[in-house]
Copies of this chain bind each other. A is one copy, B any other.
Amino acid sequence: MNEIIRLLKSHRSIRKFTNQPIDEELLLEMIRAGQCAATSSFLQGTTVIRVKNPKHRKKIAVLAGNQQYVETAAEFLMFCADLKRSGDCCEMHGKTVAEGFTEHFIIATVDAALMAQNVVIAAESEGLGICYIGGIRNNPAEICKLLNIPKNVYPVFGLCIGYPAQNPETKPRLPVSVVLKNEVYEDMDDLNIIAMYDEHVREYYRTRTGGKKELCWSEQMAELLGKESRPHMRAFLREQGFEMK
């Protein structure tokens, strides 16, 4: 296993950070490394908003469901899927933008994720820790208002980055056989394999919380999929110009 694969496999979210700031040039290098990720049709459909203002950080922390590390991380980056920039180019060349296609939504969202993951790897390669903040989608309209995010742009997730003040274990992942299929999608044995994995996850929580938490993976999924999830997203996206037609 080479050093880079070792780094990728050592990822865990960091939620406690030291006060050490991130060198300005390093931050820019991380962003540039992010930009070098693949981009669909050369769209480069990501805009990153770097939020330093402590009042805004505090508001975002609350809007994201009281995630305090949004305030305490050295850097907080809001990753936005951006179809405004490309749309403006379209108009500059005298063409009308074909707005609201689901496909455009997908390519911009995937672009944002690919770029972010490169930023994450760059950060972790320098000993920094990160935590993705999907919680910003709890209140996406308020986030847009706070950060002046215009139509045809939407905040996909936030990213906390800083020097770690904790050293948690990595979280056990599903067995490869569940995730990687040969030739066709086939999941006949998966629930049996997941039952074994469940015990693994239960043990992870047990040792990590001193016996207080014993949830297994399939229970977490039942929790996640068994209830409606951010039901405002559809209306928010429509309002924001993502019609999903």
Known A-B contacts A36-B170, A173-B36; the reply to A222 vs B90 at CB < 8 A is yes
User: Could you tell me if A186 and B32 are in contact, using CB atoms closer than 8 angstroms?
Assistant: no
Knowing A9-B32, A95-B226, A117-B118, the reply to whether A233 touches B176 (Cβ < 8 A) is: no
With beta carbons under 8 angstroms apart, the residue of B8, B35, B102, B228 that contacts A98 is B228
- Contact of A72 with B by CB under 8 A: no
Interface string of A204-244 (1 = CB under 8 A from B): 00000000000001111110111111110110010000001
Contact with A234, one of B52, B90, B102, B178 (Cβ below 8 angstroms): B102
Q: Specify how many copies of this chain sit in the oligomer.
A: 2
Chain A: interface residue total (CB-CB under 8 A): 117
Is A165 positioned at the interface, with any CB of B under 8 Å from its CB?
no
* B11 lies within 8 A of A38 (CB): yes
Q: Would B220 and A41 count as touching, CB distance under 8 A? A: yes
Q: Mark A102-118, 1 if CB is under 8 A from B, else 0.
A: 11101101100110111
- Distance in angstroms between the alpha carbons of A147 and B80 in the assembled complex: 32
A147 touches B50 (CB 8 A): no
Contact B50 A122 (CB under 8 A): no
